[in-house]
Amino acid sequence: MLEASNISAFYGDIQALWNISLVIRGGEIVTFIGSNGAGKSTIMKTIVGLVKPKEGNIVFEGIRLERLPAHKIVDLGISMVPEGRRLFPEMTVLENLEVGASTQAASRARSSTVNWIHELFPILEERSKQVAGTLSGGEQQMLAIGRALMARPKLLLIDEMSLGLSPLVVERILQVIQDVNRQKRLTIVLVEQDVGIALSVADRGYIIEHGRIVAEGDTKLLQGDGCLMEAYLGVNPKGKTG
């Protein structure tokens, strides 16, 4: 579905990604894991068009993405839930959702998509008229995910979903993500600092360190490889961060 080859990306003069090559297949849940500043978010931003790579190319369903502006990439079917949620703080919950469906295709199906989001996250329907800036952390995360889903994407990127959220809320959101993946065959890429969460939900994983991919594979295999876990993630063999 999506293939990135030899991506190098910079923030100004500082190189953030070195020769990144990866593959995302339709219907799977893939995770990028690694420590802070490793480059996981940068890869996501490069895919979605917020960062332009200096080298390499990204192909999504046959179309080259590197030169396209972000809003065109959304149009092609890739949507991202950014780190920190980035909701529109002065707009209501419903308006945030509606704005999520700003592409032509999505806007035609807007009301039915809103109903779907309300099924997934009933609290959002309750709080429809509330201004987004006043929601709790968990509700904001649900709204951010809902807003990204409003674009009816084929590929959903979620950046650091669990930050600042209680385990119960995270669990509920993960359940929704897995359901959507299974029922709608929505391909999902998850960037997570919490290794346990990432590996419990994903089919495959890429371990990122210092802007490079240092390991990849089935999450079962990754989990089983204790040396790998410890070396790159500081995770002891039982899967808990140490």
Partner 1 sequence: MAYGVLVGAMYGLITLGLGLLMGVMKFLNVAHGTFIILGGYVSYWLFTRYGLNPYLSIPLVIVVMFIIGLVVYKVTLSPLLKLPNVGSRLNSSMLITFGIIYVVDNLMTIFWKPDVRSIVAPFTGRSMDFFGTKLSVTGLCGFAVAIVIAVILYFVLGRTQFGKHVRAATQDAEAASLCGINVHRTYLISSGIAIALAGVAGVIIVSSYSISPNSGLRWLLVAFVVMILAGEGNIHAIVPAGLILGLLEAVGVFIVGAPYRQVVALVIFIVILIFRPQGLFRKGRLTYG
Instruction: Work out whether 89 is an interface residue with partner 1 (CB under 8 A).
Output: yes
Is position 48 an interface residue for partner 1 (rule: CB under 8 A)? yes
Residue among 106 and 202 whose Cβ is closer to partner 1: 106
Q: Does 88 bind partner 1 (CB under 8 A)?
A: yes
* Beta strands across the sheet bearing 29-33: 78-81, 155-159, 187-192, 29-33, 204-209, 212-218
Q: Assess 54 for contact with partner 1 (CB under 8 A).
A: no
Q: How far is the CB of 103 from partner 1 (least distance, A)?
A: 4
Query: Does residue 100 bind partner 1 (CB under 8 A)?
Result: yes
Question: Is position 71 an interface residue for partner 1 (rule: CB under 8 A)?
Answer: yes
What crossing angle do the helices spanning 137-149 and 110-120 adopt, rounded to 10°?
140
Does residue 92 belong to the site contacting partner 1 (CB under 8 A)?
no
Among 26, 69, 122, 237, binds partner 1 (CB under 8 A): 69
Complex with partner 1: residue 28 or 95, whichever CB lies closer: 95
Nearest to 197 by CA among 230, 231, 158, 232: 158
102 part of the interface to partner 1, by CB under 8 A: yes
Q: How far apart are CA 143 and CA 138, in angstroms?
A: 9
Closest CA to 174 of 217, 115, 121: 121
- Could you say which residues in the range 157-216 bind partner 1, by CB under 8 A? none
Between residues 133 and 242, which has the closer beta carbon with respect to partner 1?
A: 133
Residue 182 burial class via C-beta count within 10 angstroms: exposed 0-12, middle 13-18, buried 19 and up: exposed
Can you point out the beta strands (E) in 25-67? 29-33, 55-60, 63-64
* Distance (Å, whole) CA 170 – CA 24: 24
List interacting residues with partner 1 (CB under 8 A). Answer: 48-50, 69-71, 74-75, 79-80, 82, 86-91, 95, 98-103, 106-107, 147-148, 150-151
